[in-house]
A and B are shown apart, each in its own frame.
Chain A
């Protein structure tokens, strides 16, 4: 459209005027406008991150100022909505919750003071929101998942990058990256139906769904991340390193473990950190395979309830704006801060380390 306009304009101008135009950059509204619009849209990503910060924290905030007297409106709200609905669709209030909201004033305890207690019992006569068992459960699952996923995927990446023939490598890489395409609900289903039964037969423990099963399943979700990033880090090590080492008579194993691996350490750390972030926030696998019992125990074969699974399991049944609701958002804020910090660490600290290393050696 505007090109046609320009053409017709140009035809009317004399050659000398054209020259002037050529030297002086003409202000074009469409060009200026397009750039502004594109820049504004690009800002959206930043805006979304900020909005997530603001809105997740906003909903969590009331927990810190909610005292007993302010908890009363919750009860009114419950009575208003209760009774009309008969189905158990998400958002409907169950009897136990009504009871619990009524009793909340009786217990006379400030909800925020129970945050660091050892019991997570949000739906009871005397609700307690101790996130300690949830936190411990998450740590337990994360450690199990990492102990499984990190060695396997780093070794697999070393094999792919250092030992495998180019033809085999072209096959291995896409096949392992297939794992990233599995929806987490499918991995959760596999853990629930297959892994849980198989592991119970092998180890003979009591509870079918526990931290171990969940941890292994979440490890599966983290493997493609750690594998891909480690492989990238290994192949990013300059070829001259490998050639110098092999030229001096070192074997492929020695080159891999004493030359390439040390040079790629920051990248591998970044890979592990992003893997931790993935495991930490994984919801569906945790919901389906960990048993969802909030208890404090060090036994890897006990059921656990992770932070994210707690949000996933309880948010649909909670009363909008009530203490339980705020506590779940508080857990969400913790998850968000944690993954944000991990990402920032991987991004700024470890990436810079990689760059500095290679630049100083070139």
Chain B
């Protein structure tokens, strides 16, 4: 075969692969928007589910997701930022300790999310929760069962690598001159980190937090048996309450509901809400990250 013909064919096939992926992305978006938009209004967002979950809104699921990701961020961000500071500022590239941390972070990033769920069940609920009940509650069951705190902490472990990677990337873009200027003025290393490195990486910390929240809002497997509930008539009032979440709501409504067809509009609208939420968060993160990378140049 002619070389030019071969070139054209191969390049077209590669181009078609790109188009195929983009086509799939667009069709997921289009179908979700077309199916969900008509049912998306203020009452849907602000009402509790009604009539055995066949009518009404998703208000408790939105609140549950928000509260869960908030607790998750409060737990994950400080630990993630400090680990990133250690990796970027203190650890030498050759130290075994730093290498082990890097490997551990990568492992956490690839461990299937369902394993985090198992860990949450075995460690937070079965070990910490049960022992807390034994010590503080005289054996009465309060913490030794699924609740929003354990679900959030499980999710925090899952999103820890997201925070670490974003923050470390941002710290590495801070010019060396600034650190050296600070040290030359007599500041100690810790002062330099506090006054130069951390302020300089605020946008990176923000990016990491947003990405973590977006990931945490979308994951369902870790909360399947650590705190998410099918239906609650009330919002969670304390850390030991269960909660409803958007992703879990989609899963339950589309697979476990007794009348899947009747709730179809609710399913699509819930999916649209979740997708809009994660997409807008990811969009903000992309813009922030773009600005950080621009600084690098």
Q: A42-B87, A160-B18 are in contact. Are A311 and B118 (CB under 8 A)?
A: yes
Q: How far is the CB of B126 from chain A (nearest CB, A)?
A: 7
Our pick among A186, A257, A329 for the contact of B274 (Cβ within 8 Å) is A186
B250 with A186: CB separation less than 8 A: yes
B7 with A329: CB separation less than 8 A: no
B229 with A156: CB separation less than 8 A: no
B221 with A347: CB separation less than 8 A: no
Beta-carbon contacts of B101-133 to A below 8 Å, as 1s and 0s? 101111110111111111101110011000000
* Minimal Cβ-Cβ distance residue in B for A216: B24
Answer yes or no: A236 CB below 8 A from chain B CBs. Answer: no
* Minimal Cβ-Cβ distance residue in B for A44: B79
B118 with A178: CB separation less than 8 A: no
Which residues on A sit within 8 Å (CB–CB) of B31?
190, 193-194
B224 with A187: CB separation less than 8 A: no
A45 with B108: CB separation less than 8 A: yes
Answer yes or no: B207 CB below 8 A from chain A CBs. Answer: no
* Minimal Cβ-Cβ distance residue in A for B115: A336
Q: How far is the CB of B83 from chain A (nearest CB, A)?
A: 5
Beta-carbon contacts of B28-44 to A below 8 Å, as 1s and 0s? 10011001000000000
The CA-CA distance from A171 to B185 in the complex, in Å, is 45
The dominant DSSP class at the B interface is helix
A46 with B118: CB separation less than 8 A: no
Which residues on B sit within 8 Å (CB–CB) of A254?
7
Q: Considering the complex, which residues of chain B in the window 216-231 have a beta carbon less than 8 Å from any beta carbon of chain A?
A: 217-221, 224-225, 229-230
B160 with A45: CB separation less than 8 A: yes
A56 with B214: CB separation less than 8 A: no
Answer yes or no: B17 CB below 8 A from chain A CBs. Answer: yes
B79 with A41: CB separation less than 8 A: yes
A38 with B85: CB separation less than 8 A: yes
A315 with B188: CB separation less than 8 A: no
Which residues on B sit within 8 Å (CB–CB) of A185?
218, 220, 247, 250-251, 274
Beta-carbon contacts of A38-54 to B below 8 Å, as 1s and 0s? 11011111101101100
Our pick among B83, B107, B274, B279 for the contact of A49 (Cβ within 8 Å) is B107
Answer yes or no: B46 CB below 8 A from chain A CBs. Answer: no
Answer yes or no: A182 CB below 8 A from chain B CBs. Answer: yes
Which residues on A sit within 8 Å (CB–CB) of B187?
3
A178 with B25: CB separation less than 8 A: yes
* Minimal Cβ-Cβ distance residue in A for B192: A31
The CA-CA distance from A346 to B49 in the complex, in Å, is 46
Beta-carbon contacts of A284-295 to B below 8 Å, as 1s and 0s? 100110000000
B110 with A188: CB separation less than 8 A: no
Answer yes or no: A302 CB below 8 A from chain B CBs. Answer: no
B15 with A46: CB separation less than 8 A: no
Our pick among A35, A181, A194, A223 for the contact of B90 (Cβ within 8 Å) is A35
Which residues on B sit within 8 Å (CB–CB) of A220?
24
Q: How far is the CB of A170 from chain B (nearest CB, A)?
A: 11
Answer yes or no: A253 CB below 8 A from chain B CBs. Answer: yes
Q: How far is the CB of B277 from chain A (nearest CB, A)?
A: 9
Q: How far is the CB of B48 from chain A (nearest CB, A)?
A: 17
Which residues on A sit within 8 Å (CB–CB) of B13?
155
A30 with B190: CB separation less than 8 A: yes
Answer yes or no: B166 CB below 8 A from chain A CBs. Answer: no
B188 with A343: CB separation less than 8 A: no
Which residues on A sit within 8 Å (CB–CB) of B229?
89-90
Stretch of A66-74, A115-123, A239-247, A274-282 lying at the B interface: A274-282
Q: How far is the CB of B119 from chain A (nearest CB, A)?
A: 5
Q: A44-B83, A48-B108, A159-B18 are in contact. Are A181 and B118 (CB under 8 A)?
A: no
The CA-CA distance from A277 to B254 in the complex, in Å, is 26
Our pick among A31, A45, A159, A329 for the contact of B17 (Cβ within 8 Å) is A159
B106 with A343: CB separation less than 8 A: yes
A90 with B230: CB separation less than 8 A: yes
Answer yes or no: A175 CB below 8 A from chain B CBs. Answer: yes
The CA-CA distance from A188 to B108 in the complex, in Å, is 23
Beta-carbon contacts of A218-236 to B below 8 Å, as 1s and 0s? 0010010001000000000
Nearest 9 CB-CB pairs, A to B?
A281-B112, A183-B218, A42-B86, A159-B14, A155-B17, A34-B190, A283-B221, A55-B122, A45-B104
What are 15 contact pairs spanning A and B, CB under 8 A?
A30-B188, A55-B119, A59-B118, A89-B242, A90-B225, A91-B145, A163-B11, A164-B18, A179-B25, A184-B221, A187-B28, A253-B7, A283-B113, A284-B251, A315-B225
Which residues of A are in contact with B by a Cβ distance under 8 Å? 2-3, 28, 30-31, 34-35, 37-39, 41-46, 48-49, 51-52, 55-56, 58-59, 88-91, 151-153, 155-156, 158-160, 163-164, 172, 174-176, 178-179, 181-190, 192-194, 220, 223, 227, 251-254, 257, 274, 277-278, 280-284, 287-288, 308, 311-312, 315-316, 320, 328-329, 332, 335-336, 339-340, 342-344, 347
